[in-house]
Structures are given as structure tokens and as C-alpha cells.
Amino acid sequence: MNKTFRLLLAQALIVTAGATAVASASAQVVVIAPGAPPPVRYEAVPAARPGFVWDQGHWRWDHGRYVWIGGHWQHERVGYHWVPGHWVAHGPNYRWIEGHWA
């Protein structure tokens, strides 16, 4: 193989790997539970921490039952605000909307 061909082949592989990484990073898991989550547990919110926002705890659907996930810190993104994850009624079921920056 000549040098130009190898260079073009390497570039094509890099582009393909990047496209694959973007495709897998944008994949979304849809979580549907057959009933409403239990009432929210109220947690003591820790003192403010510079550069972070508090993500409240929530119920996660895991192997046929709800499991409580405690709150945790999210790295702050300047110019955005944190929208906590939450359950939304979807007919007789409930759908989980992942927390995200908006």
C-alpha cells in the first residue's frame, strides 16, 4: 500500500469510529413502569457547593420493582439549568424522563 492510501484509510477509520461513538452516545433507553412510583422520599439537601447543582433522589424501575436512588451532585453547566428526572403518566403506565440540562 502506498503512503497516501494508508493515510486515507486511517482517516476513514477515524471518521467511522467517531460516527459510531456519536450514534451510541445518542441512544436512549426508554423505561416504562406498570404503575405509579411510591411517594417521593424527602432528603435533606446539603449546603450549596460551588460549581455543582443538587440532583434530588428519585425512584428507579429496576427488575420489576421500584428502588430508591439517593440524590447526588451534578457538575454545573454555565448558561443551563438542571431539569430533574421525573415520572410521567403514560396511559396506565409511567414513563421515566431522564434528568437533563436545558
**Mean pLDDT across 27-37:** 90
Residue 16 has pLDDT above 50, yes or no: no
Q: Which of 23-27, 40-44, 48-52, 85-89 has the lowest mean pLDDT?
A: 23-27
Same domain, 63 and 89: yes
Which amino acid is it at 60?
A: R
Higher per-residue confidence, 64 vs 1:
64
Q: Which residue has the higher pLDDT, 26 or 53?
A: 53
Closest CA to 34 of 94, 100, 85, 97: 94
pTM of the model: 0.68
Q: Are residues 10 and 48 in the same domain?
A: no
Q: Are residues 43 and 77 in the same domain?
A: yes
- Looking at the fold, whether 37 and 79 belong to one and the same domain comes out as yes
Q: Which domain holds residue 21?
A: 1-29
Asked if residue 5 and residue 36 are part of one domain, the reply reads no
Instruction: Check residue 29 and give its pLDDT.
Output: 84
What average pLDDT does the segment 61-66 reach?
Answer: 96
